[in-house]
């Protein structure tokens, strides 16, 4: 039988044959012996066509003779895949001219590219690509030959990455006027191939501490480049600084300018909880000797470090540590001394109010309902006050600063002096439930005007109870026998706040008799010693059924009356 295989470097061995020409319904069952094979196909391994000849001398049959008919072994070429190697480059403005390469896969029988002749060339839109993007690299395999292989091409990819433009904020200075600076600018660096900012669309915004700064100091300017677009460029940002000065820079003599460098630590009105202040001392001419701590006036603090900034001998960073105090704010004042390193006057004095306290705990106070127990008639709990140990910025306080259970905050207000917060709560627990209502000022959510966070406050808590109490009378001991004690108990389902023992009384034949009482608010015993025959009735006096529990819930029915017939022992 003819057979086809794909080149694998090995000879074929699974030859077969078929026998035809049988008559009278005979089949191969009437044939004995084996068929062997000869011809060029027996040892062939290379791609091509080869003869297969059946050797029939070993076959026999009583009624048949045999004739051999040859077949063909066809060995087809295997396929090699030529894959263009992926390449990458960064945009330069010039056409891509890099060398292309490829890899050949699919060899069999441990063969290598040594069996291939010819050269791979390349086409595709990667050739001469200029702009950032992805491009195809297509290998051309028509010039390749191999005895046992065909060739298939697989594209690769050229990626031209965007170049980077650095957007650098420009340093700015202004004289303090109480207004935020707005005239920020920046430059773009890194254009290639004579490109300019004309290839960029979008706008630059500015963020950083300089955005809202109004006090003297040095603040960060950060360009926000997320709004910029360009075909061949991505964008990086470089910060700069805004310096706000008290007055214009001096131009003659050894005068000096004194600026708070870490001005971003300041809160409203020059307040801070940071105890380390850094200033930049800028002299109008180089100093003949480096300044030391003695060159600066400081109250409520001390100079802990002086270091040069740059090499011009005109700029120095001065670190001042405030005097330790957690009891009350202190004001640190500082300036450059007059005559330091020359005859110039003292610099302006700067003042910073420092208050650093990390254990400030607000105190909660109950409003009009402070018993700790409420019933269904109470839908609002008003005038709760949280007293604060230091002044707070009212704009930083909101309902989210409180943990509330069983209610919602209906109203919230901050006192004009900033030292207390008043709340009204609206109950959310339904009239069919019982549970707790509570409110707590969270830790580390609001801060005073110096930047100190408050700790967690007291928790104001009420037990919500809408279940009426029950009262029960029961005979404990005694049968009614004259001159023997009869003990009756009164028990309640919970504490009754307005119960008095005198509310229970006993009569025999309608005449009140004395009773001895013992017990407490949740249970009482009454001992009666009958002295006459008749009907003993123990009950609660009419008009005293308004008993209430701690939440103000009243009993809904009178207790059971205990009735006993007294008798004389026989």
Q: What is the mean pLDDT of residues 366-371?
A: 82
Distance of CA 121 to the CA centre of its chain: 53
On whether the CB atoms of residues 419 and 390 are closer than 8 A, the answer is: yes
Give the range among 145-159, 182-196, 488-502 with minimum mean pLDDT.
488-502
Is the pLDDT reported for residue 254 higher than 60? Answer: no
Q: List the structure tokens of 369.
A: 């309902």
Q: What is the mean pLDDT of residues 505-515?
A: 86
Is the pLDDT reported for residue 153 higher than 50? Answer: yes
Q: What pLDDT does residue 251 have?
A: 34
Nearest one of 288, 325, 322 to 304, comparing CA atoms:
322
0.75 exceeded by the pTM? no
Q: Which domains does the chain have, with CATH numbers?
A: 3-76 (2.60.40), 79-161 (3.10.430), 163-244 (3.10.430), 246-354 (2.60.40), 363-464 (2.60.40.1220), 471-565 (2.60.40)
Is the pLDDT reported for residue 249 higher than 60? Answer: no
Is the pLDDT reported for residue 342 higher than 50? Answer: yes
Q: Which helix (H) or strand (E) holds 121?
A: strand 121-123
Phi and psi at 126, nearest 5°, equal -70, -25
On whether the CB atoms of residues 184 and 172 are closer than 8 A, the answer is: yes
Q: What is the mean pLDDT of residues 463-489?
A: 86
Q: What is the mean pLDDT of residues 418-441?
A: 88
What pLDDT digit, counting tens, does each position of 64-96 carry?
999 999 999 999 999 999 999 999 999 999 999
Helix, strand or coil, per DSSP, at residue 75: strand
Give me the chain's average pLDDT, please.
88
Q: What pLDDT does residue 90 have?
A: 96
What pLDDT digit, counting tens, does each position of 277-332 carry?
999 988 878 888 888 998 899 999 999 999 998 888 888 999 999 997 667 889 99
**Nearest-angstrom CA–CA distance, 126 and 139:** 11
Is the pLDDT reported for residue 344 higher than 70? Answer: no
Q: How confident is the model at residue 433 (pLDDT cuts 50, 70, 90)?
A: low
Give the angle 196-202-203 at the CA atoms, nearest 5°: 95
Who wins on pLDDT, 53 or 245? 53
Q: How far is CA 527 from CA 489, 490, 547, in A?
A: 9, 11, 22
Q: What pLDDT does residue 233 have?
A: 97
Is the pLDDT reported for residue 432 higher than 80? Answer: no
Q: List the structure tokens of 359.
A: 């254990």
On whether the CB atoms of residues 285 and 314 are closer than 8 A, the answer is: yes
pLDDT over 70 for what percent of the chain?
94
**Nearest-angstrom CA–CA distance, 386 and 419:** 9
What are the E-state strand segments in 261-372?
A: 271-272, 276-283, 296-299, 301-308, 315-322, 330-336, 350-354, 363-365
Which 8-state DSSP code applies to residue 126? T
Q: What is the DSSP string of 350-363?
A: EEEEE---S-B--E
Q: How confident is the model at residue 177 (pLDDT cuts 50, 70, 90)?
A: confident
Q: How confident is the model at residue 248 (pLDDT cuts 50, 70, 90)?
A: very low
Is the pLDDT reported for residue 366 higher than 80? Answer: yes
Q: What is the mean pLDDT of residues 157-173?
A: 96
Is the pLDDT reported for residue 517 higher than 70? Answer: yes
Q: What is the DSSP string of 366-401?
A: --S--SSEE-TT--EEEEEEEE-SS-B-GGG--GGG
What pLDDT digit, counting tens, does each position of 85-125 carry?
999 999 999 999 888 999 999 999 999 999 999 999 999 99
């Amino acid at each position: 039988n003819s057979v086809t295989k794909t080149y694998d470097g090995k000879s074929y061995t699974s030859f077969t044959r078929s026998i035809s020409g049988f008559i009278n319904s005979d089949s191969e069952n009437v044939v004995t012996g084996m068929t062997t094979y000869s011809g060029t196909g027996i040892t062939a391994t290379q791609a091509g066509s080869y003869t297969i000849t059946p050797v029939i001398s070993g076959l026999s049959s009583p009624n048949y003779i045999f004739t051999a008919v040859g077949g063909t072994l066809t060995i087809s070429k295997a396929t090699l895949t030529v894959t263009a190697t992926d390449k990458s480059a960064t945009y330069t403005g010039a056409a891509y001219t890099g060398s292309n390469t490829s890899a050949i896969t699919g060899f069999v029988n441990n063969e290598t590219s040594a069996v291939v002749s010819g050269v791979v060339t390349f086409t595709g839109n990667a050739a001469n690509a200029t702009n950032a993007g992805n491009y195809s690299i297509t290998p051309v395999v028509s010039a390749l030959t191999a005895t046992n292989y065909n060739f298939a091409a697989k594209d690769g990819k050229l990626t031209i990455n965007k170049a980077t433009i650095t957007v650098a904020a420009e340093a700015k200075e202004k004289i303090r006027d109480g207004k935020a600076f707005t005239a920020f600018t920046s430059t773009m660096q890194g254009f290639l191939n004579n490109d300019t900012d004309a290839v960029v669309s979008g706008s630059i915004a500015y963020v950083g501490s300089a955005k809202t700064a109004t006090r003297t100091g040095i603040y960060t300017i950060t360009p926000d480049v997320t709004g910029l677009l360009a075909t061949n460029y991505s964008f990086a940002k470089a910060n700069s600084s805004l310096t706000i000065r008290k007055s214009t820079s001096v131009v003659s003599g050894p005068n000096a300018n004194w600026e708070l460098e870490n001005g971003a630590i300041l809160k409203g009105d020059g307040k801070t909880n940071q105890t380390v202040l850094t200033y930049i001392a800028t002299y109008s001419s180089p100093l003949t000797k480096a300044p030391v701590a003695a060159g600066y006036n400081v109250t409520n603090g001390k100079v802990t470090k002086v270091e040069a900034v740059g090499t011009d001998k005109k700029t120095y960073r001065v670190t001042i540590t405030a005097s330790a105090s957690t009891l009350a704010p202190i004001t640190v004042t500082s300036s450059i001394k007059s005559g330091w390193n020359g005859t110039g006057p003292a610099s302006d004095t700067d003042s910073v109010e420092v208050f650093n306290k990390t254990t400030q705990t607000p105190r909660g106070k109950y409003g009009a309902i402070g018993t700790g127990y409420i019933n269904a008639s109470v839908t609002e709990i008003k005038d709760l006050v949280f007293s604060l140990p230091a002044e707070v910025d009212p704009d930083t306080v909101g309902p989210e600063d409180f943990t509330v259970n069983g209610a919602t905050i209906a109203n919230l207000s901050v006192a004009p002096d900033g030292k207390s917060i008043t709340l009204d709560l609206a109950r959310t627990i339904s009239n069919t439930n019982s549970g707790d209502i509570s409110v707590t000022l969270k830790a580390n959510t609001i801060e005073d005007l110096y930047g100190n966070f408050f700790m967690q406050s007291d928790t104001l808590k009420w037990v919500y109870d809408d279940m009426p109490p029950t009262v029960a009378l029961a005979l404990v001991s005694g049968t009614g026998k004259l001159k023997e004690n009869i003990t009756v108990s009164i028990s309640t389902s919970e504490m009754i706040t307005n119960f008095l023992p005198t509310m229970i009384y006993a009569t025999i034949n309608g005449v009140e008799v004395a009773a001895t009482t013992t017990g407490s608010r949740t249970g009482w015993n009454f001992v009666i010693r009958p002295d006459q025959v008749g009907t003993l009735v123990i009950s609660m006096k009419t008009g005293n059924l308004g008993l209430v529990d701690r939440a103000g819930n009243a009993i809904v029915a009178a207790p059971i009356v205990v009735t006993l017939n007294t008798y004389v022992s026989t």
